[in-house]
Structure 1
Amino acid sequence: MSRGSILVVCTGNICRSPLGEAILHDALSAQGITVTSAGTHAAAGREAEPVTIEFASRELDRDLHHVGRQLDQSTAESTDLIITMTEEHRSWVAKLAPRTVRRIFTLVELQHVLALLRPDQTFETVRELAMAASRLRARAGAGGTSTDIPDPYGGPPEGYESSFRTIAQTCALVIPALRTHLQIDAGEPHHG
């Protein structure tokens, strides 16, 4: 049974969002959650940047096979939870598909919002969780600090490493929260 869908969005869909997609896909796809990614100004048809592929191989122990794709309105509207890398991406998606506005979060913002849900709050679908999280958005304000994960494209190797580490670390906080609130077994043997 499908529990819902997650779309990860950045600009070119060849650096940040493919990495976020890979991490979330590996953690959630076995539980009936579809995870994809797209770009606001995608390098459509291009493979992920070599540095992204190398990071995935080194840090996630996985081969990353990804081709950039452009985000369109129907994809956005059919997705239950949209995770962007920056506030600008969030605004862009909201303009493209206004009906999705309550289901769009930056990755860092999502981490803060999920932390405000009560541990016993559970949801059948990703969309129900996203809608509940949207009601907490104002309370999860980042205190005036940016929730953006900088675009490393075309910059020095350390910029890629910094952005990718932020994505991996934030996903490592988001995934257990998603599992808790969607009542997903984290993979431990069930005793009972």
Structure 2
Amino acid sequence: MKRISILFVCMGNICRSPLAEGIFRHLVAQAGLVGHFTIDSAGTGGWHEGDPPDQRSIATAKSHGVDISGQRARRIRPADFRDFDLILAMDRNNVAALGSVAPPEATIRLFGDAALGTGEDIPDPYYGGPDGFELVYTRLLAGCGSLLEALGVERASCSGNTSSVR
């Protein structure tokens, strides 16, 4: 299997994209495919550069057995468009922001299209409470699982439960 590089992108890289990165890493590890993927996340803005994910994202991930506490926010870099096979933006605003700075050969897709097949935006939970983070987690888990399968990889353990990765 060819090594596949995936970059998850949201606005500040502290809520949605760190969760997506953590979930996808966890699923890849469960499937025993760590050496087959390069996985990272970034933001279209640099306001939180160097900061850990939002505490609510960390808590939500932890409640599902996923540790994202070691991640640090970063802004998208020009090299990312060359280095990643697939760049998945969490919403249409981020797709547009990426498209305005990306070279034509970059593969930028809406997460809701590429991973969920629904065309939906993954809502930004930043201004809400824990329920919003749980909803985002659930959508990201479903999409990351589908994405892994769509890439031709059958997960080693699939419980069918979309609320947890355990």
**TM band (smaller chain):** 0.7 to 0.9
Structure with the greater alpha carbon radius of gyration: 1
Per-residue deviation at 1:150?
A: 0.9
Picking from 34, 39, 43, the partner of 2:38 is 34
Secondary structure of 1:63's match? coil
Picking from 47, 56, 60, the partner of 2:52 is 47
1:187 matches 2:156: yes
Q: CA, structure 1 residues 2+177, in 2 after alignment: closer, same or farther (shift >3 Å)?
A: closer
- State the match for 1:7 in structure 2: 7
5+ unaligned residues in a row in structure 2: which ranges?
Answer: 158-166
* Contact 2:81 2:103 (C-alpha < 8 Å) held by counterparts: no
- State the match for 1:19 in structure 2: 19
Indicate the structure whose relative CO is greater, using CA pairs within 8 Å and at least 6 residues apart.
2
Normalised by the length of structure 2, the TM-score is 0.80
Per-residue deviation at 1:112?
A: 5.5
* Contact 1:77 1:99 (C-alpha < 8 Å) held by counterparts: no
Q: CA, structure 1 residues 78+47, in 2 after alignment: closer, same or farther (shift >3 Å)?
A: same
Alignment of 1:146-165 (within 5 A): 147-165=120-138
Q: Pick which of 79-88 and 104-113 moved more.
A: 104-113
Per-residue deviation at 1:25?
A: 1.8
5+ unaligned residues in a row in structure 1: which ranges?
Answer: 114-141
Picking from 142, 145, 148, the partner of 1:175 is 148
- Between structures 1 and 2, the one with greater helix share: 1
